[in-house]
Chain A
Amino acid sequence: MASREETITRKGDSKGNHYLSVCESFLAKIDSRDPFWVQTLRQDALARFRELGFPTTREEQWKYTNVRAIQEANFEPAPREALPKIKKEEVEKLSTCPLRWHRLVFVNGVYSKEFSRLSDLSGAFHVGTIQDAIRTKPKMLEQYLAQCARYDRNGFAALNTALIQDGTFIYMAEGKEFETPIELVFLTDSERGNVMSQPRNLIVFGRSSRATLIESYFSFSDDPYFTNVVTEVVLGDGAVCDYVRLQREGRKAFHISTTQVEVGRNSVFSSVAVDLGGKLVRNNLTVELTEEGAQCDLNGLYLTSDDQHVDNHTLIEHPKPNGTSRQLYKGILDGASTTVFGGKIWVHQDAQKTDAHQTNKNLLLSEHATVDTKPQLEIFADDVKCTHGAAVGQIDEDSVFYLKSRGLPEAKARQLVSYGFANEVVERIKVPSIRAELNQIVLERCERQGSGKAVAS
């Protein structure tokens, strides 16, 4: 407290001067043919980023996650012209999804036409990059872009917005259904050093439309890099969205994501987010149930080891009556890893008949792992049913004993108990190929964790 002035000056430094200059040189180079509103948006976001800077641990929402390292590492945008040499087969191998699915691949944040597959689509659908949409569909884009992902309070979202260029734009017209899932793959190959990517995704569901989306992150290198992604999902009335998010960044990667979802009347948003990689990971997921009868079902699983730090923050807003929300976040921690869960359910005054549940459970496998969890309820309406729960513990010895008494060796029994713990989340993934793949990964992880060996991703 004595050091108020000190704090201010420190904050001055922490504004990420390096990142400011990155933004400035980006804005100086950018195509001046971009519509005026895009240019204004970027300028506006930059101004906001200049004020906000990166968050510090003095801020309540960032109490347990220190992003100083990102600031000090001075990451640079990857050169757009010279993409790293990656073989197509290697990219194909990353995903177990069938080849006929739509796939957009980004390498170091830049769209790669070579690796992506976009079959012909009827006019009712649009799947493409933001960069293209800025030129070809500016009117449509203007209506939605940066409308729900607010950058006025979040420095990372502001930085991303100031650098809007790469990413995905998906639009579905009224009543349409995407039969196969759409994959968004973000690959980083940071061979050339400290790269950062700032993807921006906008997905708009027309009234009563339906689709499954898979957003995944991979890496080909063990060097540090920084991904700062913002995804906006807008669901019209009666739309249904299934969302899978797989984060398998490299072990030295910094990954910050902001996902903002608006759910319309009687529409449903379900998501499963799995975090396996990354050195420092922070996911902000905000869902606003904007109209009556909106629903969301958010699931999360994080398996951490070594010095990983994974932080999941969710916020669910219930401004209107009859909304339903469910959350289940589970984590298994090994090594000296730390995980954070911050969940908030906000029930506004008019949101009568809200039904909201939130659960966070953590399994500690090692002496040195740390869990910080903060499930929160803020309720301003009286006719509601809201509960939340959090638990931290170790493997249930009774369960282990039960399995051992049936002839399973100790290690196997422990593996199965952890696996069963994680499986509750995995089985909620509706895409069979991904579910099977993740089941395999989780099983292997549990085996290694059980044996106490170092886990190398």
Chain B
Amino acid sequence: MKEARAFIDREYKYGFVTDVEADTAPRGLNEDIIRFISKKKNEPKFMLERRLNAYRRWLQMEEPRWQNVHYPPIDYQDIIYYSAPKPAKDGPKNLEDVDQEILKTYEKLGIPLDEQKRLAGVAVDAVFDSVSVATTFKETLAKAGVIFCPFSEAVEEHQDLVRKYLGSVVPYADNFYATLNSAVFSDGSFCYIPKGVRCPLELSTYFRINTADTGQFERTLIIADEGSYVSYLEGCTAPIRDKNQLHAAVVELIALKGAQIKYSTIQNWYAGDKNGKGGIYNFVTKRGKCVGDHSKISWTQVETGSAITWKYPSVILQGDHTIGEFYSVALTNHYQQADTGTKMIHIGKNTRSTVISKGIAAAHGRNTYRGLIRALPNAAHAKNYTQCDSLLLGDRCSANTFPYIEVKNKTASVEHEASTSKISEDQLFYCKQRGISAENAVSMIVNGFCKEVFKNLPMEFAVEATKLLGVSLEGSVG
């Protein structure tokens, strides 16, 4: 498979730095920094209390060590916890207020901030380092009663909702990184879909880390009220830097009775260079809760970036007849590492979950699926089907599967299947004899391998994901 090896090394396309003046907090973390962040955000008192509680708790916590990824210890005092492009006194009211440099950045990234060039009707909330810089299509959404705004705005304007739901799925003391996030999170997106409303647009947040040595700690909270529907997309990029940067976000989804939330991620943080230098540590806590009966939460993720990806988007199936889904493609090339998967906690009756995970490891990549399926005693007739397939490209990579299945109800049925293989010589030969170059053949086979997941992405994203996969795999084949 020598030909296939020629397929590597296209440089990371989004690795530029935008030169904007930034309002940054001093390095390090202490109670004053947290007060500083809270003050910058004009937060009410309860938020500051929350942050400080989380911080005090965090000080007592230990960094987890059980994961199957390796990295040098992180110096939490060497991170800048707040960085905002200036001027950002109140946050821009409309696009004219946004710094031209930033708009150009998003243009380069291909994110349609400019509503004039409206692309495919996607409402975007763009987060630059620590703050949200622009949210598009606000008015269209407002007409439908949908609230979609930067998190800091929600804290001011929709205090009741924030108070009620923030931390209801991921409590502030949940885990080391979620607790750190709860203490220092700067911004993110907030979304509320009222009763019976089908959100007229795809909602989308675009995250970008710009300033060096910053950590990005955003917080996303999506509440789908009874009978509503929303599809939400998330994308991420960062400049090329030699030093590793930390991204520790928390995403909480709440689906009330009969509501449906579809959450898609295309994660393309800077992955580090060929020798594994630099790149983002993507340590994220994502969890959804099907609170009401007949609700549904679906996670789709395409993880191609980051030096280390370590996350388990989960669903708590609390209501009866609720559905949880997890579709994932995780690709690790060069020295990338991924330890990702899901947790499906079946609490209610007749709950169903589906897990489809596709891992691709190339070069020295380490790819791990780790998942938990738990059926509690009341979860009568709970059903789960899990399938994890791994594809290995190259003899220096590794693929691991660690499923945990815990069943406490006799009517529950849980099935898990996993396989690991490589692209067969026969498949390659077949393509090549039809005049398809080895590189294209590999790309085609890999795309076929991921198809089951890609078909769950909204159309534009599916196209992007396919391309991204091709680029990320370049030169890795052989």
Contact = CB atoms under 8 A, between A and B. Distances in A.
A377 B61 CA distance: 30
Contacts of B408: 370
B400 A376 contact: yes
A66 interface: no
B390 A390 contact: no
Interface in A389-429: 389-394
12 contacts: A1-B60, A371-B406, A374-B402, A374-B403, A374-B404, A383-B422, A385-B419, A388-B416, A388-B418, A391-B416, A392-B407, A393-B413
B460 interface: no
A373 B405 contact: yes
Interface stretch (A20-28, A181-189, A307-315, A359-367): A359-367
Interface string B397-427: 1111111111111111111111111100000
Nearest to A373: B405
B90 interface: no
Nearest to A384: B420
B420 A387 contact: yes
A382 B406 contact: no
Given A372-B404, A379-B392, 15 more contacts: A349-B396, A362-B407, A364-B409, A364-B412, A370-B408, A371-B405, A373-B404, A376-B402, A377-B400, A378-B400, A382-B422, A384-B392, A388-B401, A390-B403, A393-B414
A128 interface: no
B46 interface: no
Contact of B392 (A367, A373, A382, A394): A382
Interface residues of A, number: 38
Contacts of B415: 389-391, 393
Nearest to B419: A387
Nearest to A356: B420
A443 interface: no
B395 A391 contact: no
A96 to B, nearest CB: 33
Contact of B422 (A376, A384, A393): A384
Could you say which of A4, A372, A391, A392 has the most chain B C-beta atoms within 10 Å of its C-beta? A392
Contacts of A365: 410
Contacts of A389: 415-418
A392 B412 CA distance: 7
B66 interface: yes
Given A4-B62, A376-B401, A376-B403, A382 B413 contact: no
Given A60-B66, A372-B406, A394-B411, A379 B390 contact: yes
A391 B375 CA distance: 13
The 10 closest A-B pairs by CB, nearest first: A382-B392, A364-B410, A393-B413, A377-B401, A390-B416, A380-B398, A387-B419, A386-B420, A392-B407, A392-B414
B112 interface: no
B393 interface: yes
B394 interface: yes
Contact of B416 (A60, A349, A375): A375
Contacts of B390: 377, 379
A386 B395 CA distance: 15
Interface in A316-364: 349, 352, 362, 364
Contacts of B409: 364, 367
Contact of B420 (A369, A377, A392, A393): A377
Contacts of B420: 377, 379, 384-387
Contact of B61 (A1, A372, A390): A1
B413 A392 contact: yes
Nearest to A391: B415
Nearest to A346: B400
Interface residues of B, number: 37
Contacts of A376: 400-403
Interface in A268-291: none
Interface in A205-226: none
Interface in B345-394: 377, 390, 392-394
Interface of B: 60-62, 66, 377, 390, 392-422
Interface string A109-144: 000000000000000000000000000000000000
A60 B65 CA distance: 12
Contacts of B421: 384-386
Contacts of B396: 349
B182 to A, nearest CB: 16
B410 A367 contact: yes
A2 interface: yes
A370 B409 CA distance: 7
Nearest to A64: B406
Nearest to A358: B418
A431 interface: no
A381 interface: yes
Contacts of A381: 392, 395
Could you say which of A362, A377, A378 has the most chain B C-beta atoms within 10 Å of its C-beta? A377
Given A2-B60, A60-B66, A394 B403 contact: no
Contacts of B400: 376-379
Nearest to B416: A390
Nearest to A60: B66
A390 B60 contact: no
B172 to A, nearest CB: 15
B410 A366 contact: yes
A382 B391 CA distance: 8
A392 B393 contact: no
A257 B261 CA distance: 48
Contacts of A391: 413-416
A371 B418 CA distance: 19
A375 B420 CA distance: 14
Contacts of A372: 404-407
Interface in A1-36: 1-2, 4
B112 to A, nearest CB: 40
A370 B406 contact: yes
Nearest to A385: B421
A385 B79 CA distance: 44
B443 to A, nearest CB: 18
Contacts of A382: 392-395, 397, 422
Contacts of B62: 1, 4
Given A4-B62, A60-B66, A391-B416, A371 B407 contact: yes
Contact of B418 (A364, A373, A377, A384): A377
A199 B409 CA distance: 38
A392 B419 CA distance: 19
A349 B409 CA distance: 40
A300 B267 CA distance: 42
A315 B413 CA distance: 26
A100 B451 CA distance: 62
Nearest to A338: B408
Nearest to B175: A1
A274 B407 CA distance: 22
Could you say which of B392, B397, B420, B422 has the most chain A C-beta atoms within 10 Å of its C-beta? B420
A372 B405 CA distance: 5
Nearest to A333: B410
Nearest to A63: B404
A326 to B, nearest CB: 15
A179 to B, nearest CB: 41
Contacts of A385: 419-421
A373 B405 CA distance: 5
Contacts of B412: 364, 392-393
A187 to B, nearest CB: 35
A371 B61 CA distance: 31
Contacts of A366: 410
Contacts of A362: 407
A382 B377 CA distance: 40
Nearest to A363: B410
A364 B414 contact: no
